[in-house]
Structures are given as C-alpha cells and as structure tokens.
Amino acid sequence: MSGGVDSSVTAALLKHEGHDVIGVTLNVWPEAQADESTRTKACCGLSAVDDARRVADLLGIPYYVLNFRDLFREYVIADFVREYARGRTPNPCVRCNQHVKFRPVLQRADALGAEYVATGHYVRRDRDPVSGRYRLRKARDAAKDQSYVLFPMRQDELARTLFPLGDYEKAATRELAARFGLPVAGKAESMEICFVPDNKYGRYVTAAAPEAAQPGPILDAQGRYLGEHPGIVHFTVGQRRGLGLASQEPLYVLAIEPERNAVIVGSDADLLSRELIADGLNLVALPELRGRLTCRARIRYRMQEAPATVAPAPEHGPDAVRVRFAAPQRAITPGQAVVFYDGDSVLGGATIASVVRDGDERPDGAAAAGAAALSPA
C-alpha cells in the first residue's frame, strides 16, 4: 500500500469480496531524504505510511511496514547511478518491480501466511487455456496500462499475484474510493521517482558518483567538436534542451559515449533507426523464443507499439535478442525496456543494450558517424 488511491481501492475491493487482507507498505526511502511531507507526487515516502495506515484502520485490516531499504538501495538506486554513469537511461520502476516488489514481497507473504500478493497496478492477469502459462495483459484503461513496466514478472510470481484494478477505468477507481469512504479518494497521481526528491536526475547522480559527472566534448555525428558538456549524466538520447550550442537547426542527443566522455548530437532525422540489440530477455506468454517472432514492440512507456520482428542474438549473449522494426523508430535509448506484445498480451521484454544503424553496432548505443540515412527493410 503506497498510500495512494489505487492500492487503497485494491485493499478495499479485496476486503469487500471477503478476502482476509493484510496491508503492507515497503520502506525503501533513503534515511537522508528531503522533506517527504511536501512530495505529494512521489510513489512512496514517509507520508505514504500515514495515508496507508489511515486506510488500513478504516478497513479494519492488519498493517505492517516492511524494511526493504537495503534491497532497494542495491537493486534500484545503485543501478540507477551506474546506468547513468554508463551513458544509459534506466527505468527504475522496471528494476523495482523486477527485484523488490514481487519475489521479496511474496517471501514475506509466506511468513505472514498469505496466499497472494495484490497491487494497484493497472494490468490484467489470466491463464492461457492451451499452454497453461500465466499471461500478463494490458489494462482495460489504455491510458493507465502498466504492462510495460511489469514485463520482468516470472510465472511463479504471476501465479500468486492479483491485479484487481485491471478491468477498471481510473475514474471508476476514484468513484470506488469515494464510495468506500477512503480518505485518499482525491489524492494526486504518483509521478516522481521516489528517491530523487527534486526530479533532477543529473544532480542526483552527480552527488552519488562525482567521477561520472566530468566535463567532456560535444561532437557531431562526424566526430567534429562543437562544445563542452558538464557531464554525461545530464543527458539522454533524444534530448534537445541544455546542450548550450548555437546552431542553425535544432540539435538532439544521438548517443552518449562514456569511453570518450562524449555526447554525440545531430538532427532529428538522425535519431531514427530500425534495429536494436537487447539483453536480459524475460518471456511471459512464451516458454521460449524459437527463430524469428513477428509481434508489436514498444521502446518507451508512453508510446504505442509498432510492428517488429524479434530473433535470438546469441552472439550478444545467451539472453540477447535482435529487434527490427518495420518502420524507423525515434530515439531508441539504451537502458530502457523493449516490450513485445501480441494484441493485449505481453510476450516478453528485454533491456535495450545498443542501437544498430546501417549495420553498425555499438555497445553504448552510439550512432555510426554520418549514418543519417536509413535504407528500407
């Protein structure tokens, strides 16, 4: 229970259906943190405990705060800092779901005698009648669907996880909160990364790893020097603002090269590419990936899927895949997730490792010099 409306309604619905419900909040926030009481849009924080406890008291259910600080620090915060230092743009919500919110919580559930874990995520879960595998499916409310950040879930985790809000529109959730008399019915949406108090990622990483925030060159795609940057941790692929360069046409970050401490920039057209390499593959609806798979793929949380093919790429690792889109995609970003869909069902997903442009593969996602034009498939 994050103290928000979604997890609160989840608890209320389960209680209403006759389940024996236990409420838990995960204590993941660092000890030295900014004033949490002012951070109304953070998904977790000290103020979450007060709101969650009020809801639990109202529902008459037991309530616990679980100390997951060390786990969160190791798998989410440290990973976030390392990835930015490598010139990548991580998704901490994916890492939190992968390493904190499910398997460790299910272990605590066992200790509490609970059969299932339920969350307020907007996603649906069912079982394929043919294969017998648990499926992760998009929420009915497309605007709230969170299937993208849950792709790392494994079969044994899906077997014991409930998502009661998957069939509800967000407006209906708020109506239920009001009907149940929950004090968080009008609470604002969770928007921020919970461990970055001011939402300034570069400044946060600089404080945690000063060595990763050294000034370096800004280069064009041909390697020509254009200026200086204050540290690669302040940039991500597709970024336009903050470059501090005078140019006749808008310039965007094409790639980040940590080995040269360089930021590569170019035109908006240079951001287009059809192909990527991803690793850390997790399959959900499929038991294994055999040959080339035709599907739709998404490279960013807030975007539509696009037609693509996925194939094993053993030359890049045992869990690596090559993804090729039917049409060029803008700003494919190493560190982000690529998730594969068949209709509303998640087939699986992986973490983008590199971008392929005109046959050039670079582990850091850098573009090939001068590779602005893309040949058709």
Which residues form the catalytic set? 96, 194
Contact between 370 and 221 (Cβ < 8 Å): yes
Structure tokens given for 284: 């959900």
**Per DSSP, which regions of the chain are E strands?**
23-27, 63-67, 117-118, 123-127, 134-138, 161-162, 216-220, 225-229, 252-257, 262-266, 272-283, 293-298, 306-312, 321-330, 337-342, 345-357, 360-361
In terms of C-beta density within 10 A (0-12 exposed, 13-18 middle, 19 or more buried), how is residue 286 classed?
middle
Residue 266 sits at the vertex; the CA angle it makes with 263 and 272, to the nearest 5 degrees, is 110
Q: What are the CA-CA distances from residue 231 to residues 163, 198, 204 (Å)?
A: 41, 19, 12
Angle between helices 5-16 and 46-59 (to 10 degrees): 20
Contact between 101 and 119 (Cβ < 8 Å): yes
Contact between 147 and 139 (Cβ < 8 Å): yes
Give the integer Cα–Cα distance in Å for 334 and 320: 14
Give the integer Cα–Cα distance in Å for 357 and 351: 18
12-193-169-152 Cα dihedral, nearest 10 degrees: -90
Contact between 353 and 366 (Cβ < 8 Å): no
In terms of C-beta density within 10 A (0-12 exposed, 13-18 middle, 19 or more buried), how is residue 47 classed?
middle
Structure tokens given for 171: 């407006």
